[in-house]
Amino acid sequence: MTSGNLAAELRAESPDFIVLAPGYPRGTSTGGEFIRTRVQAYVAAGLSGHVYEYRAPSDAAPFTLHDGSTPITVTSADGIEALAPTLRELGVPVLAHSPTPRMAELLRTELCGSRVAVWYHGYEVRDYRRLMCNFSPTKIAGSRPGLDQMNRDRFAAARPIFEDPAITKVFVSQFQRGYSEFDVGATAENVHVIPNHIDTDLYRARERAPEEARRILLLRSFATRNYANDIALRALEILAPRRGFDQLEITVRGFGLHFQREVTGVRALRNVRVQEGYSSPVEMAMLHYDHGVFLCPTRFDTQGVMLGEAMASGMVGITNPVAAIPEFTDETCSLLPRGDDPLAFAEAIWHIFTHPELMPVMSRNAAARVEEQCGRAATVDREITIIRSLAA
């Protein structure tokens, strides 16, 4: 398929919106799940869209597949640039997620800003030094020049977009907006803060009974250290000698670079079930249903979507009040031990286990908070309003 064919295809479809993304879930590719859930919600609301994933090499022929009724075209940044005149001609709203520096330049110079909205999900406008926990001394020593250049390139690309009042910007939390403006070195104009949508139809609320305080789930990526699973796993090791620990039923599930090393200390515990593997959203909802308490340690989160999904299911969370987490939960629905302290995390686990009467009310509060803050009305409906305003 050529760029001319892409343009003809787009004219024939006349979609209500276009999504530009460096990654989108397809087949075994799992990047961009937050984008996919948005697209599915827009389509369910009656809009039609076309997604363009632009991470293919420049010399690769574009191809189109479908996710339900939505076309997904895999092309290159060159392909998007060739399509820009057609996008201008049609006046279709362009929703760009996590634009690369080149795509940011294209959005600013080749498209009509009043038709463009840019979603920043975190990493693309964040100084790598905020996550130094993810680097060993050896790795950072060898990578620093390249990382410094990456910072310069990303921030130089984002700065004019931030400052352009015609382009709509969306951040998922006030915390994210604040650090992004600081790191980029510009105040963002024409901004909306809209959290990632939590699907409360999939993650259905079920009030937890007191006895479910002993059924504990750790379900998390182990790809990087900012997910902080080591804190929760060390907390379980601390608790293991205590009288009554054997009454707990604990599931640890996840995958990633640090999984095998970090679960080593709990594998010998007879009441801890360790499962390595990816969990689909449906599998996650099933795991939620079978447990009462959700362990979600963190060193850095721009929202904490996995915590939100567990809360939506009615689970009582144990997390750390760092980064954006205080925007999305509090002591009425979660236990909040101080950060980077396995002993404090252990005491939080023990507290809910020994005070199971807290479970029902905290469970209700958790589900209600997610519905109010991250349910459809607070997220998808607001984004659809943006799309329609871009088309006006």
Q: In the predicted model, what is the mean pLDDT of the chain?
A: 95
Give the distance between the most distant pair of CA atoms in the chain.
Answer: 71
Q: Is there a domain that residue 204 lies in?
A: no
Q: Same domain for 189 and 47?
A: yes
Q: Is there a domain that residue 107 lies in?
A: yes
d(CA 333, CA 317): 7
Q: How far apart, in Å, do the first and last CA atoms of the chain sit? A: 31
Summarize the confidence of residues 240-267 as an average pLDDT. 98
> What separation in angstroms does the CA of 196 have from each of 297, 361, 382?
19, 25, 11
Q: Same domain for 225 and 336?
A: yes
Q: Same domain for 276 and 308?
A: yes
pLDDT, tens digit, 9 for 90 and up, residues 135-171: 988 889 889 999 999 999 999 999 999 999 999 999 9
Q: Is there a domain that residue 95 lies in?
A: yes
pLDDT at 27: 65
pLDDT at 28: 57
Positive or negative: CA dihedral 78, 21, 300, 327 = positive
Closest CA relative to residue 297, chosen from 338, 266, 239 = 338
pLDDT at 29: 61
DSSP state of 128: G
Q: What percent of the chain has pLDDT over 90?
A: 91
Tokens of 364: 């209700």
Q: Is there a domain that residue 175 lies in?
A: yes
Q: Same domain for 157 and 215?
A: no
- Residue indicated by tokens 């987490």: 325
Pair 104, 158: CB distance under 8 Å: yes
Q: Is there a domain that residue 202 lies in?
A: no
pLDDT at 1: 55
pLDDT at 256: 96
pLDDT at 4: 64
Summarize the confidence of residues 380-390 as an average pLDDT. 98
Amino acid letter for position 291: H
By 3-state DSSP, what share of the chain in percent is helix, strand and coil, each rounded to 5? 50, 15, 35
pLDDT, tens digit, 9 for 90 and up, residues 312-334: 999 999 999 999 999 999 999 99
pLDDT at 25: 87
Q: Same domain for 13 and 134?
A: yes
Pair 238, 346: CB distance under 8 Å: yes
d(CA 146, CA 188): 26
The predicted model scores a pTM of: 0.94
Q: Is there a domain that residue 221 lies in?
A: yes
Summarize the confidence of residues 92-99 as an average pLDDT. 97
pLDDT, tens digit, 9 for 90 and up, residues 130-140: 999 999 888 89
> What separation in angstroms does the CA of 292 have from each of 27, 98, 206, 296?
32, 35, 10, 13
Q: Same domain for 149 and 25?
A: yes
Summarize the confidence of residues 191-196 as an average pLDDT. 98
DSSP state of 130: G
Q: What is the DSSP string of 275-332?
A: EES---HHHHHHHHHT-SEEEE--S--SS-HHHHHHHHTTPEEEE---TTGGGT--TT
Q: Same domain for 253 and 326?
A: yes
Q: Same domain for 115 and 192?
A: yes
Q: Is there a domain that residue 357 lies in?
A: yes
- For residue 56, name the pLDDT band (cuts at 50, 70, 90): confident
Assign 357 to helix, strand or coil. Answer: helix
pLDDT at 35: 94
Host domain of residue 166: 3-197+377-391
> What separation in angstroms does the CA of 383 have from each of 115, 143, 158, 197, 233?
14, 38, 21, 10, 38
Task: Compare 31 and 286 and report the one with higher pLDDT.
Answer: 286
Burial 242-270 (b: 16+ CB within 10 A, else e): eeebeebbbbbbbbbebbeebbeebeebe
Q: Same domain for 40 and 105?
A: yes
pLDDT, tens digit, 9 for 90 and up, residues 71-90: 999 999 999 999 999 999 99
pLDDT, tens digit, 9 for 90 and up, residues 218-251: 999 999 999 999 999 999 999 999 999 999 999 9
- For residue 2, name the pLDDT band (cuts at 50, 70, 90): low
Distance of CA 218 to the CA centre of its chain: 17
How many distinct structural domains can be found in the chain?
Answer: 2
> What separation in angstroms does the CA of 99 have from each of 45, 151, 186, 292, 345?
25, 14, 17, 38, 37
* Domain of residue 228, CATH code: 3.40.50.2000
How many residues are recorded in the chain? 392
Q: Same domain for 227 and 88?
A: no
Burial 330-346 (b: 16+ CB within 10 A, else e): eeebbbbbebbbbebbb
Closest CA relative to residue 384, chosen from 116, 37, 45, 40 = 45
> What separation in angstroms does the CA of 153 have from each of 99, 102, 105, 143?
12, 9, 11, 15
Summarize the confidence of residues 191-201 as an average pLDDT. 97
325-331 long-range contacts, CB within 8 A, separation 24+ = 325/298, 325/301, 327/173, 327/174, 327/175, 327/303, 328/173, 328/195, 328/303, 328/304, 328/369, 328/373, 328/374, 329/304, 329/366, 329/369
Q: Is there a domain that residue 136 lies in?
A: yes
Q: Same domain for 14 and 163?
A: yes
Q: Same domain for 301 and 350?
A: yes
Distance of CA 177 to the CA centre of its chain: 15
Summarize the confidence of residues 306-316 as an average pLDDT. 99
pLDDT at 340: 97
Side-chain-side CA neighbours of 100 within 13 Å: the count stands at: 13
